[in-house]
Every structure is written in C-alpha cells, then in structure tokens.
Structure 1
C-alpha cells in the first residue's frame, strides 16, 4: 500500500493508516524541523504539534497524494511560530547543531554551511537538496511562486559558493 492509499484511509478516519503515514515521513519531518528551529527540544515540540494538528485535521485534506506536502506546510508553520516565540523571549544566539553528512570518503559539514544562509534560504536549500523536493512542491509548501523558489535557490547557491570557496576565489558556474 503506497502513501496515497494510506492518506486516503487516514482521511476517512483510519488511525492506523495515519500512524503508518507519519512513521514513513518522520525522518523528513525531523530534518526539516531541525533545519528551521536548530535544536532537538524545539524540533520535538514542532513535530508533536504538527502531528497533533494533522491528526485533528486530516479529514480536511483535499488531495491524499499531497499528504506529505500538506504536513510539511503545517510543520514549517509550527517551526516559524516557535522561532517567533523565541525571538520575543530571548535574543541569545544559539547553534547547537553540529550534525554532518558523511559519505564514504569525505565528511561535509553540510548543516553548518546551510546555517550561515538567510533563514528563508535555509528552508529552501533543505527542502530542495536534503529532502529532494521539486521546485513545484516547495512552491506549494511555502505558498510562494515557482519563480520565487528558483530565485531563492539561485541566491542560496551564490551564498553557498561564497561561503565554501571564499570571497576572492574562482567560483564554479551557477546553473
């Protein structure tokens, strides 16, 4: 049974199907939340709220094929709400994430570089490169035009190039 079928069952009230859906995408939800809120406690809070809201409102899901996009939109809103609350409470900078992506022969401090980007660009880069979402899906999740997603990706690539290669060094071709 694929995710669309499970989403249809969940929309009709099948609790077990909803649990299976959440389990199937929980890693993606964690990565996205972590990229926005920057620490495990806030990440857990955002995920918990997201799952509770999604469960309460799954019957409103119009298109089961877009369950993942729908729940990611809820998650991003929850993460942004947590960040807004933190800004009101404390202006102390925090960066507790020292996660790295490790390939067989090299280690790239990927998230540390992504953290250097503007907040909007961090989300776009995480969704596009880490979660492998299409420009169209990102556009739907963030409720912006596809052109906006493309321009933000371009700006992010430019900033990443400057961060990784330095200001004065020869840069690779941006495509």
Structure 2
C-alpha cells in the first residue's frame, strides 16, 4: 500500500497513515518505513523552518525516525500519528537548538536559509524566514503543509485560539513586509 504526496502537493490520506501506524505498532517494519517515507518531505520542511541548516535537519530527522521507531508501540491513537511524529520532530529540533546555543560564540551570525522548492516566490520565502519562530512555524504547518489549525495547535502544544492569533499576526507582518513601498503614493496620484 504505497501512499505518497499527490502531484497537487496534498498530504497523504490520514486514514492510510492510521492504517500504516496500526501495522507499525504491531511490529510491521515495512509499514513504519512506508509511514516515514510518506511524511519525510513535510517533516524535512518543518525541520528546515525551525533549524535553517541542512546538517541539523538531517540530525533532527534521524533522531525523529529512531525515536518514533523505538516508541511506535506506545502510540495510543494511530489516527493521530502525524501529530505524534511532528511533536517528536519539534522536540528533536528544540534539543538541537539548545545544543547550538550552548556551543555558539557571541557575535556569530546565523546561517542564511538556502533556497527551498517549497517556496515559489523568493520574496515570500524570505519574508516567511524572517518571521519569529512561533509565527513562522504555524504558517508553515497550516499554509505550506496544508494542516488543519487544530492539528497545528496540537503539534505546537498551544490552543487553537493561540494558533489562530499567531496566523493573524503572521499575515499582518507578511503583508507589511510584502506591500509595495510606494503603494500609498500611487493612490494619491
């Protein structure tokens, strides 16, 4: 049962993911690998949003896969496997960020984000990358990963209302950055 992102970029069907999770929970390694394969692009993009560094993303994904494989039998609700995996990933990313902060020297600049095929518009990508992490992460989960607000909120460990507020603040910030500078002057002419 092969499931992958469709050509439209839509996420895999949650029923199929739950079916794979149930099989993986019962010890089916192939089902676990297929589950990871179907979500690896979305997991990578989320890690990239948080870490902004390919090497760290690879470490976070590896930690996520190993951690999920070791804990798959403890997954209580297979229907929520995607949320469960994102939570593991975000925890792995936060651990890497904490290590990075302890190792970084004062005054060092963060690495610039590399081009990503997820963003078609360079200006939009740069604007999204400039958002503070809590705002950036909710934008990526809801708009780029096509997740329901409730699911994104669960992954981030916040209320649905807080997720909606972050989206509203993100949109306002993005509009202000992306609005043409001379828009007001054109109207007055």
Normalising by structure 1, we get a TM-score of 0.88
- Taking a change above 3 Å as real, the CA distance of residues 40 and 160 of structure 1, as seen in their structure-2 partners, is same
- Map 1:105-120 to 2 at 5 A: 107-120=121-134
User: Gapped runs of 5+ residues in structure 2?
Assistant: 2-15, 185-189
Give the aligned length. 168
Q: CA deviation at 1:162?
A: 1.2
Q: CA deviation at 1:6?
A: 0.8
2:146 aligned residue: 132
User: Gapped runs of 5+ residues in structure 1?
Assistant: 171-175
Normalising by structure 2, we get a TM-score of 0.82
Q: CA deviation at 1:109?
A: 3.8
- Taking a change above 3 Å as real, the CA distance of residues 3 and 26 of structure 1, as seen in their structure-2 partners, is same
Contact 2:123 2:178 in 1 (8 A): no
Separation in structure 2 between the aligned mates of residue 80 and residue 120 of structure 1, nearest angstrom: 12
- Map 1:134-149 to 2 at 5 A: 134-149=148-163
2:115 aligned residue: 99
2:64 aligned residue: 50
Q: CA deviation at 1:58?
A: 0.5
**What is the aligned-residue RMSD (CA, Å)?**
1.9
- Map 1:19-168 to 2 at 5 A: 19-90=33-104, 91=106, 92-101=108-117, 107-165=121-179
Separation in structure 1 between the aligned mates of residue 111 and residue 181 of structure 2, nearest angstrom: 24
After the TM superposition, list the runs of 4 or more consecutive aligned residues in structure 1 that deviate by more than 4 angstroms: 100-103, 166-170
